[in-house]
């Protein structure tokens, strides 16, 4: 696990953005935090949750399943 980086979301700005995403996309705060961090890091989201991938794509986040990457 030494190759895994942990990100902490503590700022009021980040928390507010996550809450707005959760409300806008009608998803949990937890799921919205993944989308928020993916956008912030200019990364892509890998999830087997089809609905989460679709919601992420609705806000211009690149989202893929494992099969789509393979």
pLDDT of amino acid 2: 66
> Between helices 29-40 and 50-58, what is the axis angle to 10°?
50
- Structure confidence by residue, pLDDT tens digits, 32-68: 999 999 999 999 999 999 999 999 999 999 999 999 9
Domain-by-domain residue ranges, the chain?
12-69
The model's confidence at residue 6, banded by pLDDT at 50, 70 and 90, is confident
pLDDT of amino acid 29: 97
Closest CA to 59 of 13, 15, 9, 20: 20
Fold of 12-69: Rossmann fold (3.40.50)
Answer yes or no: is pLDDT of 1 > 60. no
63 SS3 class: strand
């Amino acid at each position: 696990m030494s190759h895994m980086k942990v990100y902490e979301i503590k700022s009021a700005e980040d928390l507010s953005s996550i809450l707005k995403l959760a409300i806008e996309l009608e998803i949990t705060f937890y799921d919205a935090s993944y989308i928020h961090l993916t956008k912030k890091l200019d990364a892509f989201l890998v999830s087997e949750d089809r609905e989460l991938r679709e919601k992420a794509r609705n806000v211009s986040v690149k989202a893929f399943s494992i099969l789509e990457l393979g």
